[in-house]
Amino acid sequence: MPKFTLFEIFIIVHLIMDFIFQRSWEATRKSKDWLALAFHCFVYTIGFIPVFWFLKISFWWLILLFLSHFVIDNQKFVRWLLEEFKGYKQIESDKSLWTMLLIGVDQTLHLIILLIITSFA
């Protein structure tokens, strides 16, 4: 039986909760509707509870996971990174390129948070 690192387990849970369990109404409304965003972040975080409980990881890290997911998926910070830091403007970019950049930065930030939690928890 393969042995997974904590980071690998977190990536698997992340992919399941952020893609498979996210409904289309959450994905399309979460950057504009606080309720859709909160619901998505709540469902996403619930998926990590068994791992945190089984491995006896402090639930303070779970709170960080929820809050960071809330900030990242709100997309204001992601858009700021793309527009102000990288210099890509939504109105000047091809729509499919802009969407891929949003998803890429979003997922990179999520992986950084997961790496921080698995490194220090």
Residue with tokens 């490194």, as numbered in its chain: 119
Confidence of residue 94 (pLDDT cuts 50, 70, 90): confident
Percent of the chain with pLDDT over 70: 99
Cβ pair 46, 59 in contact under 8 A? no
Among 2-11, 79-88, 89-98, the least confident range: 89-98
Determine the average pLDDT of the residues in 99-107. Answer: 94
Determine the residue type at 74. Answer: N
Tens of pLDDT, residue by residue over 15-27, are: 999 999 999 999 9
Q: Is residue 90 predicted with pLDDT exceeding 90?
A: no
Q: What is the pLDDT of residue 116?
A: 98
Q: What is the rounded average pLDDT for all residues in the chain?
A: 94
Alpha carbon distance, N-terminus to C-terminus of the chain:
25
**pTM of structure:** 0.93
CA 106 vs. chain centroid, Å, equals 7
Q: What is the pLDDT of residue 2?
A: 81
